[in-house]
Structure 1
Amino acid sequence: MKRTVLLLCCLCLLAGLQRKSARMPWRSGHTLRWSDFQALPDEHSGFSASANTGISHRYTISKAGVLDPSKSIIKANFYPKLSWYKPELIDEFTLKHEQTHFDISEVHARMFRKAVAEFRFTRNSKAEIQKIYKKIESSRRNMQQQFDAETEHSVNREAERRWEFNVEALLRKYRHWAD
């Protein structure tokens, strides 16, 4: 329980730091390299690596107070200055695991784009977009945690392959909502 609370506190803190950090948007065909991970390793962590990813959203609200979905910019991002690895503990599977975390964020960015495009915004756009974002972000975080739990942070190779296949299927499912 303490670990969960600590993890949630860290995620909230990192969410605030992400806004101030350089970001690398998700791109089809581009995979992460260890050189993308620029933070110093967390020596207190029992993990071998940490890819910090998330979703950013910029939008425009018209003079009438209504959000214009056509001017909405939604990106899945990797934050190099908040991502790290311990060279002595990593292998090829570790990097693939971290890439899948990034891909999960892209799936949710696509889901967010779809939700925004299909929603009929009103003069209450700020509250409406916030509600959509919170739902997508909650789903993203839950999926990230489930991925780590089921794969035992890349230890369970069979579960890792299932997740990679399922995330690739979701990327295909939402391909019309790719950036």
Structure 2
Amino acid sequence: MTGTTQFGACFAFTPLKIYMRFLSLLLLSIIIQQKGFAQQNSNSILYWNKDKKLSWSDYLATPDGESDAAASTTTQLNVEYEFSKDKFSFHIKSFFIKSSSWGRHKTEYILSHEQGHFDIAEIFARKLHKALREYVFNKKNFQNDLKNIYDGIVAAKTAMQDEYDRETNHSINKEKQNEWLIKIAELLQTFEPWVSY
């Protein structure tokens, strides 16, 4: 079981009310080869929601014939920034990409492992929210500052996704899998104050 994660950042700057938007080409894949950036629309993405767990019907891609993985979960973290008169605002989106995610061995146990990957993505969306809320706007360095914040969150998220798969042996180690699901639930609770991003 692997968790493929793609990250993209959308930045919008508004000095003097001029809006510039662009999608960063920063796409980070972990564990399994990158399948390409999917077109996101209401039918191909699923926003993280504590009341809506993943189901196998959410996995729309065809399994990778060159992979022996049981499933692949693709998530993305997008950030939109705005600046106006030295005021800084942002909007974060954490979502599952249906059209890039697939399942080969569709059991509830494997789905639970894949949900763990989506939940880890949500943890880091909340961590990003916290970091951006704590950021003190610096007009001279804000671009580098924000890139460093984002890159740091991405690196930590990637490390945790890798550690999750390594320690659970992609869910094969049931004892470790259970420990990780408890850890993930605790982290979601810890970062609950930053859920509204």
Task: Give the count of matched residue pairs.
Answer: 164
CA-to-partner distance for each residue in 1:79-119, whole Å, 9 max, x for gaps? 10110011xx2311100000000000000000000000011
Match of 1:163 in 2: 180
Give me the TM-score of the superposition, normalised by structure 1: 0.85
SS of the residue 2:111 aligns to: helix
Alignment partner of 1:21 is 2:40: yes
- 1:91 and 1:15, CA in 2 relative to 1: closer, same or farther beyond 3 A? closer
**Contact 2:35–2:100 (Cα < 8 Å) also in 1:** no
CA RMSD of aligned residues (A): 2.0
User: Who is 1:76 aligned against?
Assistant: 94
Post-superposition offset of 1:77: 1.1
Instruction: Give the counterpart of 2:125 among 86, 109, 115.
Output: 109
Q: Distance in 2 between matches of 1:39 and 1:94?
A: 16
In the TM superposition, residue 177 of structure 1 has moved relative to its aligned partner by 0.3
Q: For 1:111, what is the secondary structure of its paired residue?
A: helix
Q: Is 1:51 the equivalent of 2:68?
A: no
* Letter matched to residue 122 of structure 2: E
**Normalization by structure 2: what TM-score?**
0.77
Gaps spanning 5+ residues in structure 1: where? 1-8
Partner of 1:174: 191
What is the rounded CA distance, in whole Å, between the counterparts of 2:129 and 2:99 in structure 1? 26
State the Cα distance separating 1:21 from its structure 2 match: 3.4
Change (3 A) 1:15 1:141: farther
Contact 1:37/1:81 (<8 A) preserved: yes
Q: Deviation at 1:24?
A: 1.7
CA contact (8 A) 1:75 1:106 kept: no
Which runs of 5 or more residues in structure 2 are unaligned? 1-26
- Give 2:103's aligned residue: 85
